[in-house]
Amino acid sequence: MFQSLTSRLQEVFRTLGKRGKLRPEDVDQAMRAIRMALLEADVHYQVAKALLSRVRDRALGEEVSRALNPTQQVIGIINDELIQTLGEPERLQLKGEKPRVIMLVGLQGSGKTTTAAKLARMLRRNGERVAMVAADPYRPAAIEQLQILGREEDVPVYAEKGAAPPDACARAWKQASAAGVSVLLLDTAGRSQLDDELMAELRAIRDEIHPVEILLVADAMTGQEAVNIAQGFHEQLDITGLILTKMDGDARGGAAISIRSVTGIPIKFLGTGESRDALETFDPARLASRILGMGDVLSLIEKAEQAFEEQEAAAQAERMLSGTYTLEDFAGQLEQMQRMGPMEKVLDLLPGMGGRRPQESPPDLDRQMRRTQAIIRSMTPAERRNPRILNASRKRRIAAGSGTEVQEVNQLLRQFREMQKMLKRLGGRGLSGIIHGLR
């Protein structure tokens, strides 16, 4: 997310950092470079102009001229102004008579159906009783797709083939009310482009059901077109919030920065991947931090809390402290790390890693993690608990079973022994040990 923009901004900051005291010409040169970076990231030119105008005025003011580290002060100013541009965070307004209806709208291909399933999972985790309505009778297999997702998430799906969407939604609301559902998600039809027929149908559903939220699902990879689409839907439906999808792809990200300033519609969620957990509550401060390459430690902690089971983590820590940490423990922690997502996303959340990469690329780290797991899985339980019994013939068998070389098996065992020693010295700080073991 924002990798190209982050890299460009980091280069500007490094150049500024070489100056002891910032002169007006230094600031102007930096603002020109940042402006080009923002425009290349597809930020709306008026938004970029207003943002940098505010930054320049503050950068040439007393708060920077008197600072001991003027470059860090400028970065702080850019962070503040970027947060202001992204807008205040707003949460779902789940008030009123149950079931409260959340209506998802958007063009075809924006990801409405998969986003409905992601949102259903998130709401269930928050204690809501959720159901979904298949209100798209036009796209082939749209109803079947939502029904499959519903079964996977254990969420009921109301569907009526051949029924007019406003009538189907009204009947679904009554059934959901009788079933004690607290939140009802409407997966409405889309089109390849905005048209009067689509808008008329969506307005009819809105007027029939009276949703508490009308959320536009927009593809971030369309750049400025996402801003135009948001304006078009907002004029017709009074959109209450946005969900930007495909933020993990090769998106330049400018839509996320521009859309609140241009349309006035708050961003509520970001879709950051294909998995059902890849839906983030929008937080401008966290996003600004990631754009500037300062990481997002809070999101990293939240991912870790979801991936690591508390009781098992405590038991592993106890084994680390007692010196009984085994390859079985190591394999379990690798599986937990994988549940946090691809290493590229995890590294982006670490301070200082935005726009940078280690010597090994994230895909290489993911591949090495899988090879390490294959080696450990090819061992017997006794071998995982006591690697000292691994002789030459056992190592050849493990290498053959995991599709690796004996040299790789030896390397893993050597790194594991080093990690065991380090864990004893560090008093059981396991995460650093795992990272060390993967290098």
Tokens for 363, please give them.
């895909």
Query: Same domain, yes or no, for 80 and 107?
Result: no
Contacts of 125 (CB under 8 A, 6+ apart): none
Residue found by looking up tokens 């048209």 in the block: 195
Contacts of 61 (CB under 8 A, 6+ apart): none
Task: Tally DSSP H helices, then E strands, for the chain.
Answer: 21, 8
Position 430 in a domain: yes
Task: Return the pLDDT at 319.
Answer: 60
H or E element: which one contains 28?
A: helix 24-40
CA 244 remoteness from chain centre? 11
Position 95 in a domain: no
Would you call the peptide bond into 351 cis, given omega within 30 degrees of 0 as the criterion? no
Query: Same domain, yes or no, for 67 and 105?
Result: no
Query: Residue 312 is part of a domain; what is its CATH number?
Result: 1.10.260.30
The 3-state DSSP composition of the chain as helix, strand, coil percent (nearest 5) reads 60, 10, 30
Question: Alpha-carbon distance 166 to 211, whole Å?
Answer: 12
Task: Return the pLDDT at 190.
Answer: 86
Residue 261 CA: distances (Å) to CA of 225, 281, 347: 15, 19, 29
Question: Alpha-carbon distance 346 to 115, whole Å?
Answer: 22
Query: Same domain, yes or no, for 76 and 203?
Result: no
> Which residue positions in the chain have pLDDT lower than 70?
1, 20, 63-68, 249-253, 294-324, 336-363, 422-439
Tokens for 236, please give them.
């017709």
Position 148 in a domain: yes
Query: Residue 122 is part of a domain; what is its CATH number?
Result: 3.40.50.300
Question: Alpha-carbon distance 387 to 402, whole Å?
Answer: 16
Nearest CA among 57, 111, 91 for reference residue 251: 111
Task: Return the pLDDT at 352.
Answer: 47
Query: Same domain, yes or no, for 106 and 79?
Result: no
Query: Residue 80 is part of a domain; what is its CATH number?
Result: 1.20.120.140
Query: Same domain, yes or no, for 167 and 24?
Result: no
As a residue count, the chain comes to: 439
Helix (H, G, I), strand (E, B) or coil at 188: strand
Amino acid at 238: D
Query: pLDDT digits over 116-160, tens only?
Result: 999 999 999 999 999 999 999 888 888 999 999 999 999 999 998
Query: Same domain, yes or no, for 325 and 242?
Result: no
Residue 100 CA: distances (Å) to CA of 96, 155, 166, 398: 7, 16, 16, 55
* Strands 241-245 and 213-219, bridge-based pairing: parallel
H or E element: which one contains 368?
A: helix 362-377
Classify residue 247 as exposed, middle or buried by CB count within 10 Å of its CB (0-12, 13-18, 19+).
Answer: buried
Task: Return the pLDDT at 222.
Answer: 79
Task: Return the pLDDT at 291.
Answer: 81
Number of separate domains in the chain: 3
Q: Which domain holds residue 262?
A: 100-294
Query: pLDDT digits over 301-315, tens only?
Result: 455 555 445 555 556
Residue found by looking up tokens 């980091």 in the block: 10
Query: Same domain, yes or no, for 104 and 52?
Result: no
| Domain termination residue (choose one: 29, 52, 86) | 86
| Domain termination residue (choose one: 64, 86, 108) | 86
The pTM for the full model equals: 0.67
The CA-CA-CA angle for residues 353, 356, 360, to 5°, reads: 100
Contact (CB, 8 A) for 257 and 9: no
Which phi and psi (to 5°) does residue 303 adopt? -65, -40
Task: Return the pLDDT at 251.
Answer: 54
